[in-house]
């Protein structure tokens, strides 16, 4: 049995530069990862299977399709990224074996913290361990890039500056161990719908050197205004986090609706977490890894 964590992905800053001819957006982002998230378990089996457990299992099964629309009754569920990752791994490495995979889903669905991408990346890491493939094998990153823009960063699993569509990664240092709070107001936001509402203005890139926290604070999330149009409650989360004692940075992650705050110490983070739970929001008190 191989067990791999699939930690939540955070965009400390996310600058959208322009839309590319291939349909992706050229961007610059500071990726960071939480100490907590989903979990992938892989065991050899007689037949391929995927079992989803955890508090967000049902939400994943009933999630809207990738275009952001609800699935029509009787329409087949789109293939999970975990299954796509496993199939691509076996094709790439010539593995003629079957695997039973369990996804223990604790991160909200369609929430801007890379849940699906993190799950796919953890699947690749787990299968690589099971079949004695080096974790830095370049073929793993080729598979990851084919699965989605955030999957290579999730596969690497460390704080990085991402450029291109997010797949060109430069490791950075400076925030490991920082107390962090993630908060989602209980709404799912379509990534496609948010990108469609981006105003198209290039407001410049992220500083490529210097203190990491200062670079993040000086940055922004260019998708935040568009997400606020779709889910105004995000503004309430940002206000609550921004006014929490000890918060050094509060921002929406990715395309939303999850927001995060970094804190000076664990006590301040935990006090803020208690206040957020009183609002019946999803809350994860964690650390930057």
113: annotated binding-site residue? yes
Residues 6+ apart with CB under 8 A from 129: 2, 4, 135
Show the tokens assigned to 210: 């210097």
Instruction: Tell me whether residue 203 is exposed, middle or buried, using C-beta atoms within 10 angstroms of its C-beta: 0 to 12, 13 to 18, 19 or more.
Output: exposed
255: annotated binding-site residue? no
Contact 59, 184 (CB under 8 A): no
Is position 9 annotated as part of the catalytic site? yes
Beta bridge partners of 33: 9
118: annotated binding-site residue? yes
Show the tokens assigned to 284: 């994860």
148: annotated binding-site residue? no
162: annotated binding-site residue? no
68 C-beta neighbours (distance < 10 Å), count: 17
- Which of 9, 84, 105, 165 is catalytic? The answer is 9
Residue 87 φ/ψ, nearest 5 degrees = -65, -40
183: annotated binding-site residue? no
Residues 6+ apart with CB under 8 A from 218: 13, 207
226: annotated binding-site residue? no
49: annotated binding-site residue? no
108: annotated binding-site residue? yes
Smallest CA-to-CA distance from 219 within 172, 158, 266 is with: 172
Report helix, strand or coil for 102: strand
- Which of 38, 119, 150, 222 is catalytic? The answer is 150
Show the tokens assigned to 167: 């797949």
Could you list the residues known to form a binding site for ATP, using ranges.
Answer: 108-118
Could you list the residues known to form a binding site, using ranges.
Answer: 108-118
* Residue numbers annotated as active site: 9, 150
């Amino acid at each position: 049995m191989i067990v791999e964590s699939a930690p939540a992905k955070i965009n400390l800053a996310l600058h959208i530069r322009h839309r590319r001819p291939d349909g992706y957006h050229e961007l610059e982002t500071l990726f960071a990862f939480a100490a907590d998230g989903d979990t992938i378990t892989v065991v050899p089996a007689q037949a391929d299977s995927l079992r989803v457990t955890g508090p967000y299992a049902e939400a994943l099964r009933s999630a809207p399709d990738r275009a952001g629309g609800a699935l029509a009754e009787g329409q087949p569920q789109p293939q999970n990224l975990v299954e796509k990752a496993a199939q691509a791994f076996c094709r790439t490495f010539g593995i003629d074996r079957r695997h039973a995979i369990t996804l223990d889903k604790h991160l909200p669905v369609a929430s801007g913290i890379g849940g699906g991408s993190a799950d796919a990346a953890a699947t690749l890491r787990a299968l690589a361990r099971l079949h004695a493939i080096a974790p830095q094998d370049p073929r793993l990153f080729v598979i990851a890039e084919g699965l989605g823009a955030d999957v290579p960063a999730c596969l690497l699993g460390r704080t990085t500056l991402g450029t291109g569509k997010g797949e060109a990664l430069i490791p950075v240092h400076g925030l490991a161990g920082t107390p962090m709070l993630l908060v989602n107001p209980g709404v799912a936001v379509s990534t496609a719908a948010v990108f469609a509402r981006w105003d198209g203005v290039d407001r410049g890139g992220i500083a490529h050197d210097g203190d990491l926290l200062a670079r993040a604070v000086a940055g922004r999330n260019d998708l935040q205004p568009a997400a606020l149009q779709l889910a105004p409650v995000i503004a309430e989360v940002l206000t609550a986090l921004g006014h929490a004692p000890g918060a050094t940075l509060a921002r929406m992650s990715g395309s939303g609706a999850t927001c995060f705050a970094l804190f000076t110490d664990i006590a301040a983070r935990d006090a803020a977490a208690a206040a957020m739970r009183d609002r019946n929001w999803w809350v994860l008190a964690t650390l930057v890894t």
